[in-house]
Amino acid sequence: MTERIAYVVTSGISMNPVYYQNDLVIVMKADSYHVGQIAAYHGDVPGQRVLHRIIGGSGSAGFVLKGDNNESIDPKTPTTEEMIGRAVLHIPKGGTWLKPFLGPSGIGMLSFLVISGGAATAARNRREIPRGRRKKKVKAMSRQGGSLETAAAVFKTVQRLPPALRGGAYLAAAFLALAVLLGVLGWMKPVVETREVAAPPRQSLTYSYSAKVPKSAAYDGTTVSSPEPIFRRLTNNVDLVTRYEGPPGTFDLSARLTNGTGWHTTIQLVDEVAFTGSSYEATAKFDLKALVARADAASTAIGTSSSGSVSVALSARVVSQGRATLSAPLTIEVTPVQMVLGGNSKLTTESAGSAGTTVVPREIGILGLTAAQARSYAILSLIAAGALAAIVFLIARRAMPLRTRAQIERRYPQLLVHVEPMASPPGKPIVNVDNFPALVKLAEKYGQMILTWRREDSDDFVVRDEGITYRYRVPLDRPELLDIEHQNRPATAGSHRRKASSPVS
């Protein structure tokens, strides 16, 4: 959700032998990247993520990336801001087990498992319920709705947890709810959708030229304008004006000179300049005499005769955001007599797109996310919910008081020695401890095993040292603590039994 971590499930062979089909790679956003790192960026197809190695470029101008098993470099050059992140964790074939959970059914199944796992902490062990009551409970449950009882049991269990664990359980539930919400919104429709696109604004580039001439019989006035020819005997100075109409962007103008000998050179008339507004105009001054002299000097250098002529191919270019580059070619022929437009040259070049459709990422309006982002966040939220639920369950289970013989034997089988009931030494004190872990600490302190036996009304666990008997007693007179299956329990392998000479006091 912080846009700092994401995952990529690999496909294809472009990164063999580092990654193979269906590997899972975790990537993390970085402030900078360098050559040699494997990084991910968004591809041209909505929702696509490309994971390749950086082989050149920079963060500001754009990185050059290439698959280790590819012959060519990637056409896209993402900047640091456009990177998804660098590879930090590789799980071979991890995508194979992740893919089944990427659908709505997988989200629902995992949600059920998380809820069921929480409910399991609330349900008491079958061995802790008397057989008669167990049957009655099963019959009662068969007559009731299981979902409400399960939810109530989970809620009661969470309420009994310590504050820290209770907060963790609530946070896991919040992550689970978020995962279900994002999963439904992300998978209810495809990640892309088709939208109608209005016709883009019209663009146009128009050339015009003019020159001041003395009063003569060649012209009606003292100013000559395009598309009229300009006779060089009257003037060699021409003002070329290029006007653009359309969305803002950047503008530049260049001229390519040729003279029919194979020689050519390019002159930058207007350097690239950014502009705002819906129009831009640039003026370049032509010295026809200087242009011809440049072409004649080239002819002399290569050993051909000078023709006194030059062809000027103008190229104005405008780059606007979200639009194809608009280029306007114009050819001007300069001879010893005049300057005229080249054949088939047009003074105006226009570009007008038409309305149509386009494929764009589907957006979830209420959250401000795309469907692909919602799917990713659903998976991450589900993983977070599962991890938190597991941590809460393990800690709660570890901290759960040991109230039955079955629980104690499962937790500390290596410390227990099953014996026949033993009498306490006469005149020696008996110290009752409040909980079994305290008895375990005493056994470890004195290097003793814990002796245990069953009486008619309780299970006794004792540690004896220097005449003092430390005892933890589990009474059997409370139905919820009764352990029927362990009555008359036979001796386990390796246990020791001793016959007492008198009842235990």
Smallest CA-to-CA distance from 331 within 310, 349, 309, 313 is with 313
- The answer on pLDDT for 494 being more than 80 is no
- What is residue 499's predicted lDDT score, i.e. its pLDDT? 40
* 3-class state of residue 82 by DSSP: coil
pLDDT tens digits along 101-132: 655 555 555 555 555 544 444 444 444 444 44
Element (H, E) at 319: strand 310-320
Most confident of 139-143, 149-153, 221-225, 472-476: 221-225
d(CA 200, CA 35): 39
Q: Among 90-94, 248-252, 255-259, name the one with the lowest average pLDDT.
A: 90-94
- Position 336 scores a pLDDT of 95
- What is the pLDDT, as a whole number, of residue 106? 56
On the question of pLDDT at 379 being above 60, the answer is: yes
Would you say 339 and 238 are in contact if contact means Cβ atoms under 8 Å apart?
A: yes
Residue 296 has pLDDT above 60, yes or no: yes
Residue that wins the pLDDT comparison between 36 and 486:
36
What is the maximum alpha-carbon separation in the chain? 148
Read off the pLDDT band of 99 (50, 70, 90).
low
- pLDDT tens per residue across span 463-485: 988 778 999 998 875 444 444 44
18: its two tokens: 């580092």
- Rounded-to-5 percentages of helix, strand, coil across the chain: 30, 35, 35
Q: What is the pLDDT of residue 267?
A: 94
Residue 107 is predicted with a pLDDT of 53
Mean pLDDT highest for which of 123-127, 328-332, 367-371? 328-332
What's the whole-number mean pLDDT along residues 413-439?
A: 87
Provide the pLDDT for residue 288: 95
**pLDDT value, residue 118:** 47
Query: Which band of pLDDT confidence, cut at 50, 70 and 90, is reported for residue 258?
Result: very high
Q: At a CB cut-off of 8 Å and minimum separation 6, what does 34 contact?
A: 54
Minimum mean pLDDT range among 188-197, 259-268, 417-426, 459-468: 188-197
When mean pLDDT is compared over 15-19, 120-124, 128-132, 356-360, the highest value belongs to: 15-19
pLDDT (tens digit per residue) in 205-233: 999 999 999 999 999 999 999 999 999 99
Checking if the pLDDT of 427 tops 70, the result is yes
pLDDT at 493 over 60: no
Question: What average pLDDT does this structure show over 317-334?
Answer: 92
SS3 497: coil
Higher pLDDT, 187 or 139: 187
Q: Which tokens is 252 given?
A: 């530049």
